[in-house]
Structures are given as C-alpha cells and as structure tokens.
Amino acid sequence: MESMRSMAGWLMKRGIRPVLMTLPPIDSERYFRFLVGDKLSAENILGWLGDVHQIYRFQEMYSLLIEKVAREYQIRVLDLRQKCLARKGFLQELICEDGLHLTEEGQRFIGEELAALAQQAEQEDVALLRRTALHA
C-alpha cells in the first residue's frame, strides 16, 4: 500500500492526475481447481490457506486498500469490482476458466467502463473550467 501511495504522490506532484481501479472479483473455487490441477495436493494447500475462499478475501482486501488510497489522495477511482458484481452472469461470462483472468469480453467490459469514466472526467473538467472562467 505504501508503494501505491508513493506512486500517487509522485504523479500528483508532477501535475498528473492518476486514476485507480478496484480489482474485478475472482471465482475462488475455479481458481483453486486451476491452481491445484492434477499435480498438487489440494489438502496441503488448504491446510496452509485455510479455505478456498481465503483467496477471494485476500484479493477483496487489496481492492479495499485501493479505495482507501483513492480517498486519502482524493483520486478518481473506477470501482470495477462493484460494477462486475452488479453485472448478472459476470463470473460465468467474463472470467476465464482459470477463475482469475478476464475473457476477451471481460477486457472489453473494462475498456467500456474506463471510457465512460474518462468521458465523465472530461465533462466535469469542462464544467469546472466554465465555472472558473465565469468567476475570473
């Protein structure tokens, strides 16, 4: 988290406005099956991990830290996690068989969300410039 803060601060000092993005959710069970495959011991890994869903919780915790840094630095954030969870069929349609990576359709979904965020940011910037010009 400190490196994320450091990068955000470094960019902002140079007049660059970073955008952070929360992580898309994973399918813990599919990811675990993919990770274990037929070579590793699921029992041994679960002994270390605790349960299959610990993977999801750790990834969710990291995503929450992204939101925290965005709030601390007042950085625009794309809450991709929320958008994915709100989308019906997300895990089945947009997550690869490995349970972790996005399909081509999932990548397209991220692109559309980023484009919408950029358009929103541009509209807000134009509105701010207009208000500033009116008061100058």
Domains along the sequence of the chain with CATH: 2-134 (3.40.50.1110)
Spatial distance between the Cα atoms of 122 and 37, rounded to a whole number of angstroms = 46
- Tens-digit pLDDT profile for residues 15-72: 998 999 999 999 999 999 998 888 888 888 888 888 989 999 999 999 999 999 999 9
- Look up residue 16 and give its two tokens: 């660059």
DSSP 1-12: -HHHHHHHHHHH
Give the mean pLDDT of the chain.
91
pLDDT for residue 135 is more than 90: no
Two tokens, residue 83: 């958008």
**pTM for the whole structure:** 0.82
What digits encode the pLDDT tens for the residues 74-129? 999 999 999 999 999 998 899 999 999 999 999 999 999 999 999 998 888 777 77
Residue 50, Cα to own-chain centre: how many angstroms? 24
Q: Residue 32, SS3? A: helix
Amino acid 42: pLDDT: 84
